[in-house]
């Protein structure tokens, strides 16, 4: 452990994000208790855990991305991990959650040319002080041996958390753009923290496809609905 790690450990000792047990960021009991979503038990397009068939929403309006893998459902202990990570700033969970996502999406290893994180809005960056999705994406990219490409910029979205489902879908429409001068490769693994309506990742995927990507797949830590 480096000096910074030692100081951090003294100030805020590592505790399990699921059950507060000291010593590990996620203990083995909580790892075993994670509400994993089996690939065969979810919509292959958007990851909604209702069985291995394309869900009604994906039938009704075909999303821009081709497939989704989510580690698990946004219920305890995964929901607690995500909340501690996002809202309490427990950055040590970034690599843990990224590692779980890389495991869940392991069959995609070798597929993407780059991993693109869904960027945080300026407001949430300010609130959290770090880009939580970028850290998760960095771990997935490391596991897959490709680079993180910060291709997307986000403009003007209101805070998602104060909006209802329909409003959310409207709110994210067209707020993502590919940053000027970025060359977007063919196969993109788009990473987000939590997928709820898929509107955010749909919009981000659309921007990447418009900028030259041939296929975008989505990887997320948790699926809420």
Instruction: Report if residue 15 touches Zn ion, rule: CB under 5 A.
Output: no
DSSP-assigned letters across all residues of 46-91: T--SS-SS--HHHHHS--SSSEEEEEEESSTTHHHHHHHHHHS--T
CA dihedral sign of residues 70, 72, 74, 80: negative
- Closest CB to Zn ion among 178 and 218? 218
Cβ atoms within 10 Å of 61's Cβ, excluding its own: 9
Q: Which stretch binds Zn ion (CB under 5 A): 45-53, 93-101, 171-179, 215-223?
A: 45-53
Is the CB of residue 68 less than 8 Å from the CB of residue 197? Answer: no
Residue closer to Zn ion, measured from CB, 7 or 75: 75
Site string for Zn ion, 55-74 (x = CB under 5 A): x--x----------------
Q: Taking CB under 5 A as the rule, does residue 19 contact Zn ion?
A: yes
Q: Is 45 in the site for Zn ion (CB under 5 A)?
A: yes
Indicate which single residue of 25, 27, 117, 197 sits in contact with Zn ion (rule: CB under 5 A).
27
Min separation Cβ 76 and Zn ion, Å: 11
Beta-strand pair 187-195/176-178: unpaired
Helix (H, G, I), strand (E, B) or coil at 157: coil
Residues forming the site for Zn ion (CB under 5 A): 16, 18-19, 21, 27, 30, 43, 45-46, 48, 55, 58
């Amino acid at each position: 452990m480096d000096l910074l790690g030692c100081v951090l450990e003294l100030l805020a000792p590592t505790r399990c994000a699921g059950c507060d047990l000291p010593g590990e960021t996620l203990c083995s009991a909580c790892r075993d208790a994670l509400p994993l979503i089996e690939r065969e038990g979810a919509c292959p397009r958007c990851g909604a855990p209702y069985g291995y068939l394309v869900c009604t929403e994906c039938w009704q309006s075909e999303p821009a991305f081709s497939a989704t893998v989510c580690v698990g459902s946004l219920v305890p202990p995964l929901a607690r991990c995500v909340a501690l990570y996002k809202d309490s700033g427990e950055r040590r969970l970034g690599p843990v959650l990224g590692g779980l996502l890389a495991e869940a999406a392991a069959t995609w290893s070798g597929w993407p040319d780059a991993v693109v994180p869904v960027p945080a809005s300026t407001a949430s960056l300010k609130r959290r002080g770090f880009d939580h999705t970028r850290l998760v994406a960095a771990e997935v990219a490391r596991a897959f041996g490709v680079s993180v490409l910060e291709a997307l910029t986000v403009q003007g979205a209101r805070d998602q958390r104060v909006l209802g489902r329909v409003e959310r879908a409207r709110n994210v429409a067209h707020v993502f753009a590919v940053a000027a001068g970025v060359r977007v490769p063919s196969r993109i693994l788009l990473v987000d923290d939590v997928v709820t309506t898929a509107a955010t990742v749909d919009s981000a995927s659309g921007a990447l496809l418009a900028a030259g990507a041939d296929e975008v797949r989505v990887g997320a830590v948790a699926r809420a609905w």
